[in-house]
Amino acid sequence: MLKREMYLSRIRGFYDSDLIKILVGIRRCGKSVILKQIMNELKEKGVDKEHIIYVNFELIEYEDLQDYKELNKYIKEKIVDEKKYYVFLDEIQKVDKFEEVVNSLRASIENISIFITGSNSKLLSNELSTVLSGRYVLFNIYPLSYKEFIELTGKDGKSDETFWDFVKWGGLPNRTQFTDESNIKDYLHSVFDSIILRDVVDRLGLKDTVLFDLLLQYIVDITGREFSAENVIKFLKNEGKSVSTETLYIYLDALCKALMMKKIYRYDIHGKAILKTLNKYYMTDLGIAQIKNNNFEINKSFAIENVVYNELLIRGYDVYIGKTKEGEIDFIATNDEEKLYFQVAYLVEQPKTEAREFGAYKEINDNYPKYVLSLDKADFSKDGIIHKNIIDWLLEK
């Protein structure tokens, strides 16, 4: 079992905190494994098993606890002394009013530390923020990074074959159990179906799964390019689906809430403002993108751009498209400590491509680090702009 130290190191400081620890991520990205690793660390620290309460709402034996009052009763009955109790509630979005349960437990029991996981963005909603009112800390969990993929599989991370296997089939941990492409596809289809059926159709009450399929195919085809509702509606009409702009955005929002894809906004570098128009979408996992790809071959340029975007999120950055006066920067990545710029290209060895990728920075006069990432083996760094091989960059941290 791969120890997901990147996430554990961020969570450890909150093990004994009364803040509710929320782990959110797409289905099968490894949230349950992280919970089990936290429980193992607690046991190693001397916490006995009676003080660790674990409920997995995907298991039939806990189905009765999907009633929030029964869940509240079940947990309270297990707390019988003054020692600290650690409560783990896995896939809690299955419980209506779960936020009331965790808030009530936190408020009424002093010796309790609560961890919850979920597979849709109801755990990020304003409703949750209102009920818990700042009494929680959120951790976004993603499919494997490239470095984690290498650690789990033991493959040669510098190998082009290994890299393109990751780009094509993504980072859902369980897909690494299979080597045959047909088995990988079958597994990814099962994950996709469970997301659509459980997190979209059932929870949100949106019934047209064919429309979801078509819409997702379109998003995969335009990954990394500006989104146009008008173009999508034309595409869907050609496929026999007549939808309004309002319906289109409802379905797009549903796919984002299921954490299958993410919307990225543009940031006006000169005006210093986030823009709500001409946004883009990127896939949370490229394996899901592959099985919904209309073409036999992936678009390698946009696929590696998606890989870089996901890696920046994994590393804890807020990410935007950078709008300049005459063009754009692929990504601006910020956190509390730094701000970075990134241009991503397949190869920059041709003079025209090199001029385009490095020239994108000509309007930006600040001193924040500026990168060009590509698959070139040679170093093209110049004029203070850092060039790195994408594979080397992915393996850095």
What pTM does this model have?
A: 0.94
- Render 49-109 in DSSP notation, one character per residue: GGGEEEEETTSGGGGGGGSHHHHHHHHHHH--SSS-EEEEEETGGGSTTHHHHHHHHHHH-
Reduce the DSSP state of residue 184 to 3 states and report it. Answer: helix
H-helix or E-strand spanning residue 183: helix 181-194
Our measurement of the distance from residue 14's CA atom to the centroid of its chain's CA atoms, rounded to an integer in Å, reads 21
Q: What pLDDT was estimated at residue 119? A: 86
What does the alpha-carbon distance between residue 236 and residue 355 come to, in Å, rounded to a whole number? Answer: 38
Q: Which residues of the chain have pLDDT under 70?
A: 121-122, 124-127, 295-296
Residue 256: which residues within 8 A CB-CB, separation 6 or more?
Answer: 121, 262, 263
Q: Are 390 and 308 in contact (CB under 8 A)?
A: yes
Q: What pLDDT sits at residue 369?
A: 98
User: What local confidence, expressed as pLDDT, does residue 296 receive?
Assistant: 58
- Residue 306: what pLDDT? 96
What is the structure's pLDDT at 121? Answer: 67
pLDDT value, residue 321: 95
Q: Where are the beta strands (DSSP E) in the chain?
A: 20-24, 52-56, 85-90, 112-118, 136-140, 261-268, 273-283, 318-323, 328-334, 339-344, 370-374, 386-389
- Encode pLDDT of 276-306 as tens digits: 777 999 999 999 999 988 765 778 889 999 9
Measured distance CA(67)–CA(95) in Å, rounded:
6
User: Which residue type, as a one-letter code, is found at position 181?
Assistant: E
Query: Using an 8 Å Cβ cutoff, are 175 and 188 in contact?
Result: yes
* pLDDT at position 9: 97
At 89 the pLDDT is 97
Give pLDDT tens digits for 227-281.
999 999 999 999 999 999 999 998 888 888 889 999 999 999 988 888 877 799 9
